[in-house]
Amino acid sequence: MMGLVGLGRMGLGMAKRWREAGLEVLGYDQDPGARARAEALGLRTAEALEALMEALPTPRTLWLMVPAGAVDPLLEALLPHLAPGDLVVDGGNSFYRESQRRGQLLGARGVGFLDVGVSGGLFGEREGYGIMVGGEAALVARIQPYLEALAPAGGWVHAGGLGAGHYAKMVHNGIEYALMEAYAEGTDLLFAAREDLGLDPKAVVAAWRRGTIVRGFLLDRLAEVLQGELGVAPVVEDTGEGRWALEEGLRRGVPLPAMAQALFARWESQGRASLRYRLQALLRKAFGGHPVQPSGGEHVEDSAL
């Protein structure tokens, strides 16, 4: 039986795939609402971590599906209940060096640890998740039926030793950043030609989904997005994986220009570049007398400042 800690969107979808494959799973989430949603779908849950640990047969296997920042506090709460032979799987987006540290800490107590990168988002429950596993082969074999139930055929990989699963997921997410930026830039350029060429960006992107070199999952989602309302705030959040990928590139001497630009573009959308741009506008005014604009968007003549 698998003990699943974290019944959010990803965790709940994974639990459903396990159940549909005939595999036993007992879930826990500190949010009573999340537990109630899981129970409404026929999934068994425990009301507390202690109850979860008591209900699992020994040696116990726990799969953590929580944010990276919640892993250490959760492990601290679990440590008094873990025994030699137990196995902890971190399926969240943790930094691979943190996973190595956690694996060594648990290993010293005789507890196994696997770091597992999981990709698939909201579509994973239906289409399967991409799974990247790091850790000892014997421990991977122990949960192999659960891995196979999550992934489509050929969609999971034992990526390597401790940390390799989360390292692979970090690189995967860096590529995702760059792909999204490229798709967005190209679509923006299509929209720029609407008037003088009579170009239909939505139709072009939809056609790209069939037969072109740039077709793929993210392009499919872009075509769907373009059919809906585009009036959202132009702010793109970033998570740790993109930054970690760039830090690894610097540390290992691997140039990552596309990933870097994609991350910087996200930061600019969050307003981090506003001071830089304001300073450049003021410098142009200072040396060339060029007009500047207030935050409201109207031009300000030189005499106004």
The residues that are catalytic are 169, 176
Cα(242)–Cα(261) distance, integer angstroms: 11
Other CB atoms within a 10 A radius of the CB of residue 28 amount to: 25
Closest CA to 267 of 238, 241, 293, 246: 238
Q: Supply the DSSP string of 218-270, one letter for each residue.
A: HHHHHHHHHTS---S-S-----HHHHHHHHHHHHHT---HHHHHHHHHHHHHT
Place of tokens 């425990």: 46
Range 149-157, long-range pairs (CB < 8 A, 24+ positions):
149/17, 149/18, 149/20, 149/21, 149/23, 150/14, 150/17, 150/18, 150/118, 150/124, 152/127, 152/128, 155/128, 155/129, 155/130, 155/131, 156/130, 156/131, 156/132, 157/131, 157/132, 157/133
| Residue 295 and residue 275 in contact, taking contact as beta carbons nearer than 8 Å | no
Burial class (CB in 10 A: 0-12, 13-18, 19+), 16: middle
Task: Report d(CA 305, CA 301) in Å as an integer.
Answer: 8
Q: How far apart are CA 24 and CA 15, in angstroms?
A: 9
Give me the half-sphere count of Cα atoms (radius 13 Å) on the Cβ side of residue 6. 19
Q: How many CB atoms lie within 10 A of CB 287?
A: 7
